[in-house]
Amino acid sequence: MLELGLDPSVLILIVGIGLTAGFIDAIAGGGGLLTIPALLSIGLPPHIALGTNKLAASFGSSTAAWTFYRKQLFNPVFWLWSFVATAIGAFAGTFIVDFISTEWLEKLLPLVIMATAVYTILNRKQADGQAVLPKADKKLTKQMLGQGLSLGFYDGVAGPGTGAFWTVSSMALYKMNILLSSGLAKAMNFTSNFVSFITFVYLGHVNWAIGLTMGVSIMLGAVVGAHSAIHFGAKFIRPVFITVVMVIAGKLAWQAWLS
Q: Tell me, what DSSP letter sits at residue 44?
A: -
Q: What residue ranges do the domains of the chain occupy?
A: 8-254
pTM of the model: 0.76
- Per the prediction, the chain carries an average pLDDT of 81
pLDDT band per the 50, 70, 90 thresholds, residue 195:
very high
3-class state of residue 118 by DSSP: helix
- Return the pLDDT at 256: 64
Torsion angle in degrees (nearest 10) through CA of 238, 122, 248, 51: 70
Longest CA–CA span in the chain (Å) reads: 56
Q: What residues contact 37, with CB distance under 8 A and at least 6 apart?
A: none
Q: Can you tell me the distance from the alpha carbon of 147 to that of 191, in angstroms, rounded to the nearest whole number?
A: 13
For residue 122, how many other CB atoms are within 10 A of its CB? 10
Q: Can you tell me the distance from the alpha carbon of 246 to that of 116, in angstroms, rounded to the nearest whole number?
A: 9
Q: Can you tell me the distance from the alpha carbon of 60 to that of 53, in angstroms, rounded to the nearest whole number?
A: 11
Lowest mean pLDDT across 50-64, 109-123, 144-158: 109-123
pLDDT band per the 50, 70, 90 thresholds, residue 6:
very low
Q: Can you tell me the distance from the alpha carbon of 46 to that of 56, in angstroms, rounded to the nearest whole number?
A: 15
pLDDT in tens, 140-189: 999 999 999 999 998 988 776 788 789 889 988 998 988 899 899 999 99
Nearest to 160, CA basis, from 110, 230, 207: 110
Q: Can you tell me the distance from the alpha carbon of 174 to that of 176, in angstroms, rounded to the nearest whole number?
A: 5
Angle between helices 138-157 and 80-96 (to 10 degrees): 30
Q: Tell me, what DSSP letter sits at residue 6?
A: G
